[in-house]
Amino acid sequence: MFRFRIFSLVALTIGIISLLQMNACVKQEPTQVDGRNVLKIVIKDHSGLLETNDSLHYAPVPGAKAILKSKYYYQAPNQPATFTTVADSNGIAEFKNIPLGDYTISVEKKIPVLVKDTGDMDTVTVRGSQILNILDVETIDTVKTELAKASDIVINELYYCGPENKAHYFYDQFVELYNNSDSTRYLDGLIICRGLQKHKPNMDSVDYVQVIYIYQFPGVPKTGRDYPIFPHQFVVIAQDAIDHSQFVDTALDLSNADWEFYNPYYSEVDNPAPNVTNVIPDNSTDFMINLVHNDVILADGTDYYPGEVSDHGYQYYHIPINTILDGVEYSANPNSQKELTVRVDAGFAGVGISKYSGKSVERRTPGFDTNNSSLDFIVLDHPTPGYSHEY
Ligand SMILES: [Ca+2]
Ligand SMILES: [Ca+2]
Ligand SMILES: [Ca+2]
Ligand SMILES: [Ca+2]
């Protein structure tokens, strides 16, 4: 659905043509009319792709599609009440008859661009989102749009809940990456992180994501060319690249995994698969992720830094959002509080998966990524390490 070719920012910034039409204001009646409140969202572009309007003093995003989702109201089981509208010529999206309460708003707009090197036209998408609290009869707020980070390498599958067993065995967890492009990309220096399992009130306004583990591919971030991932290739990183069925017969054989997570700061066996290595000396655990609710971040491996220290003296790290290639939050419970900012992932994969059920979550089609895991992922009865389910 949202598949665009990726351009360098340099090519984009030079070649923009202003082709914005003044779209008529199209409003849809809300599906539930049990509120009388008005919400106005001023949508301001911060991508640099749209021109600032001199009298408005901001760059409006006319015609942007705005989607408001309730945190409390449902229109069907597991389907939050949703209201949709389109911004007017001043970039203002107006919703009427909205119940009071907490919402998420996400806005997006496709923008035509001229690709400088080839003269071709293409489109890119600017997006923005945030959490809103509607407390008054009329609420006015602002959402900033930016160029959506569209990475060619994405987290395609996460297997975290553990195999069916009564021994609390979950060491066959894995992360599967996928190159969603027609070009060779490189894993050099990329980091895979486990997110901090806390809802932070300020997490949608700070420019970083908090994590507790950082494991890194060998090679130099951004410029290294030693560890290719070929077009449409899947890459599996196992917690331990061994045949786990020797311990629990329902567990996975990951002896052929492409990589394994390896922590040199405690005595773990270094199996033949090459290592994605823990870089935090404080961390004495393998890349173990929660069996029901957690988030996993893939980033380019630059500019991360130590953040807070936990109550138990454990050092958390900050991953700047502009270095994040992909992030996926999963939760068995769709009403959980978000632990990963909606700017990276607006939803949850894995709703309904219980511990030790042997299930997995995978993108609907390889690489399908709208930064909303509720839409992007489906639940698989059996993991598919190194390939995709049939679709
Ligand atoms: Ca390991
Ligand atoms: Ca190894
Ligand atoms: Ca994503
Ligand atoms: Ca797979």
Per the structure block, which two tokens stand in for 184?
Answer: 């060779």
Expressed as residue numbers, the domain containing 305 is 153-380
- pLDDT, residue 20, reads 32
- 281 Cα–ligand 1 center, Å: 15
- pLDDT, residue 56, reads 96
Is residue 391 included in any domain, yes or no?
no
Is residue 127 included in any domain, yes or no?
yes
- 128 Cα–ligand 3 center, Å: 14
- Number of domains comprising the chain: 2
- 228 Cα–ligand 2 center, Å: 18
- pLDDT, residue 46, reads 86
What pTM was computed for the model? 0.69
Residues lining ion ligand 4 (Cβ < 5 A) are 157, 176, 384
Asked if 228 contacts 186 with a C-beta cutoff of 8 angstroms, the reply is yes
- 60 Cα–ligand 2 center, Å: 51
Query: Distance (Å, rounded) from C-alpha 374 to C-alpha 108?
Result: 17
- pLDDT, residue 343, reads 82
* Whether 110 and 229 share a structural domain: no
> Taking the mean position of all CA atoms in its chain, how far away is CA 76?
25
Q: Which residue has the tokens 């690489």?
A: 367
Per the structure block, which two tokens stand in for 29?
Answer: 């009646």
Amino acid identity of residue 295, one-letter, is D
Is residue 95 included in any domain, yes or no?
yes
Is residue 20 included in any domain, yes or no?
yes
Nearest Cα to 239, choosing from 222, 257, 223, 260? 260
Q: 249 Cβ partners below 8 Å, 6+ apart? A: none
Rounded to 10 degrees, what is the CA torsion of 226, 231, 232, 236?
Answer: -10
**In sequence order, which ranges of the chain are alpha helices (DSSP H)?**
9-14, 373-376
Asked if 131 contacts 342 with a C-beta cutoff of 8 angstroms, the reply is yes
Sign of CA dihedral 383, 384, 388, 391: negative
Three-state DSSP class for 14? Answer: helix
Could you say which of 88, 119, 147 is where a domain stops? 147
- 285 Cα–ligand 1 center, Å: 9
- pLDDT, residue 18, reads 33
Name the helix (H) or strand (E) containing 12: helix 9-14
Q: What is the CATH number of the domain that holds 99?
A: 2.60.40.10
Nearest Cα to 364, choosing from 354, 355, 374, 353? 374
- pLDDT, residue 21, reads 31
Q: Which residue has the tokens 């008005």?
A: 38
Query: Distance (Å, rounded) from C-alpha 213 to C-alpha 64?
Result: 37
Query: Distance (Å, rounded) from C-alpha 98 to C-alpha 81?
Result: 10
189: left (phi over 0), alpha (psi -120 to 50) or beta: left
- 351 Cα–ligand 1 center, Å: 27
Average pLDDT by consecutive 10-residue portion of the chain (391 residues)?
37 36 38 75 90 96 94 80 96 95 88 71 77 90 80 96 97 97 95 95 85 97 95 98 98 98 94 98 95 98 94 92 93 96 90 98 90 91 97 84
* Whether 353 and 298 share a structural domain: yes
Could you say which of 147, 175, 194 is where a domain stops? 147
Which listed ligand is nearest to 261 at the C-alpha? 1
* Whether 139 and 157 share a structural domain: no
* Whether 215 and 309 share a structural domain: yes
β-strands 65-76, 305-309 pairing: unpaired
* Whether 234 and 374 share a structural domain: yes
- 117 Cα–ligand 3 center, Å: 27
- pLDDT, residue 151, reads 84
- 246 Cα–ligand 4 center, Å: 22
Is residue 386 included in any domain, yes or no?
no
Could you say which of 90, 125, 147 is where a domain stops? 147
- 206 Cα–ligand 1 center, Å: 32
- 99 Cα–ligand 3 center, Å: 30
* Whether 165 and 289 share a structural domain: yes
- 289 Cα–ligand 1 center, Å: 12
